Amino acid sequence: MDCSICSSLPVILRPPRNTICASCYDGAKCVINLINKLQNDHKLPTHNVSPVSPPSSSCKTLTNASKWIIDLKNREEELEEKIDFLGEFAAAFRHRIHTDIQLKPGFDASPSISAHRALLATRSEIFKNLLESDGCKAAPMESIMLPEMSHEELESLMELLYSGDLVEEKLKKHVYSLAMAGDKYEIPYLQKFCERYMLKSLNCGSALDVLEIAEVCSCRALKESAMDFIVRNMEEIVFSPGFEAFALKNPHLSVQITRASLMDARKNREN
C-alpha cells in the first residue's frame, strides 16, 4: 500500500491522502505512548503542549509529540551547558587551585592528593562528619587517610567526585574499588554510577566479582541481576578458572548459586 508518510513520492498519491502503512501507524503510536510515559514517569514540563490536549493525556497527536521532542532537546542543551559550567570546578582539582586538605592512600607510599574540604563534605556524609570540628577545641584536620585505596584508585575517586564522570579505561580498571568506596563513604551517586556500569558490562568473566561486590555493598538489584546471569551461564562460569577461588572465599554465595540453579532447573522441568 502507498503511504503518505514513508513513500518516496507521496505527491503523486491520490485521495485519500491520509492513508498510511502499518509500520508508520505503529511507529506514530509508539512515539505518542513514549512521550506520555516520559511525562508520567518523570513529570516532564507541559508548557509546549497544545492547550487543546486533554489534561489526562498531554500527547494525542504527532504534532504534540514533536513539541515534546523539541522541548526535551532544549532541556538537553541546557543540561549540557550546566555540565560544562560545573566542569570548571574539576579544573580546580586538576590544577590544585586553593586546595585545603590532603588525602592519603593506604596501599603504597605514594604522595597524598590535594582536595577541597567543601567538595568532600558535600559529596559524602562520612567525609562531612570527619571534617566537622570545633575550631576552639581542635585544629582543623590536615589530611584524611583512605587505607583501603591505592594512589591510582584514590585519584580516580577524586576525579569522579569533582566531575561526575570517569573515562572508560579508568572506570573499567577501578569500578570494584570505587563501588566499595561509594558504599563505605555513603556516596549514592557513586554507587549508582558503578552499578550501572557493572550491569552494562556484565559477562561470564565479571559475574562472580559483581555478585561479590553486590553482596558486600548490600545492593539487592545488582545481586539479583548477577545471580540470574550466573544461573543462565552456569556451566561456563562454574568451570572457569576463578570459580574455585570464589567458592573458597564466598561459601555462602556458592550455596546461593547452587540453590538458584536447582530452582531454575526445577522450574524449567515443570514448564
Residue 52: what pLDDT? 37
Q: How many other C-beta atoms lie within 10 A of the C-beta of residue 224?
A: 13
Per-residue pLDDT of the chain (271 residues; tens, 9 = 90+): 567 677 666 555 555 556 778 888 888 888 878 877 777 765 555 444 444 344 444 566 667 777 777 887 888 888 888 777 767 777 778 878 888 899 999 876 788 999 999 999 999 999 999 888 655 455 567 889 999 999 999 999 999 999 888 999 999 999 999 999 999 999 999 999 999 999 999 999 999 999 999 999 999 999 999 999 999 999 999 999 999 999 999 999 999 999 999 999 888 888 7
Confidence (pTM): 0.71
Could you give all domains of the chain from N- to C-terminal order, each with its CATH number? 18-86 (no CATH), 96-134+141-201 (3.30.710.10), 206-271 (1.25.40)
Looking at residue 54, its pLDDT comes to 41
Residue 72: predicted pLDDT? 79
- pLDDT for 47 equals 46
Question: What pLDDT, on the 0 to 100 scale, is given for residue 194?
Answer: 96
Whole-angstrom distance, CA of residue 90 vs CA of residue 96: 10
CA distances from 119 to 127, 151, 157, 181, 225 (A): 9, 19, 12, 16, 33
Predicted local confidence at residue 91, as pLDDT: 79
